Amino acid sequence: MDILAFGQKGLGSVYHNPETAMATWHAMDTFRQKGGRALMTLAGTDMKCAGAPLKMTFMLADRIRQAGTASASQIDFFAAKTAIFSVKPVADKVLELWQSLEVAPKVHYQRELIGVDMDKQTAIFRQPETGEQFSEDYDFIHIVPPMFATDVIFNNSELANEKGWLNVNAETLQHTKYPNIFGLGDINGTPRGKTAATVKKSTPVVVHNLIRVMNGQTPDMVFDGYTSCPMLVREGEAMLVEFNGKGELTTTLPLVDPLQPSYFAWYLEDVMLKPAYMTVLRGRA
């Protein structure tokens, strides 16, 4: 799909780059002024920041509320698999919160996006098990692309696992076939953890274990698969969701309930973490 198309005729996606994210905001802003039908999608592959499509759904519903066009609006969420998030307590809480919104998203499971006709503003979905296809009209659509490791890993080497990610041991982050290779970041084929928080927490593990291998020793430091996902719920409110590789909820801040929306979590995401995000966007971290 031509990235220049984002922002036009209700087409949006926040994943490609800052420019398409801004174009998506303009498309969403146009949509909320009059309402209509919005389609929010979730890819069937492992994802970088799997919470982003959920955040987008929350924020769209909040923008509609602010614009006063809830009675003229409908939100449909299409998940390619049988869940909207891999950590069940988080998925259950999001679904509960969605139902409390003025425009409550209707969730459709096992609906994988396979095509978009921009001229007709129609999206094509497929049922993964049967191959049956469905056509859905929209006024706004947010696309989440299928995700894999970089091409040098995915297509041109023996380094990838069956899902297309770097085949590493989830605890030591050492490649399962080539002991001199370690993985760091969202390229790793670990059960969870394709976020900046995972990179920060796993970096010392990789450095320690790599040095040991270089010195003829075996890796002995274990990564617990930590991931953090500040889940925006509305403007001024968020949940600070943290969990490990087993999908168990954890918390690094005292007195913070990871499933309780709060202004503090919003402030942490919108103000305190924003400089770090901008640094990453500029390639300086």
Catalytic pick among 21, 49, 104, 249: 49
The backbone torsions φ and ψ at residue 22, rounded to the nearest 5 degrees and listed phi first, read -65, -40
- Among residues 27, 60, 229, 231, the one annotated as catalytic is 229
> What is the rounded CA–CA span in Å between residue 264 and residue 268?
6
Q: Give the Cβ contact number of residue 230 at 10 Å.
A: 19
| Residue indicated by tokens 């889940």 | 231
Q: Residue 158: how many CA atoms within 13 Å on its side-chain side?
A: 3
Please identify which residue in the block is written with the tokens 């909320």: 32
Q: Is 49 a catalytic residue?
A: yes
**Cα(122)–Cα(152) distance, integer angstroms:** 34
| 92 has catalytic annotation | no
Q: What DSSP assignment string belongs to 168-197?
A: B-TTT-BBSS-TT-B--STTB--SS--SHH
Q: Which residues are catalytically annotated?
A: 49, 229
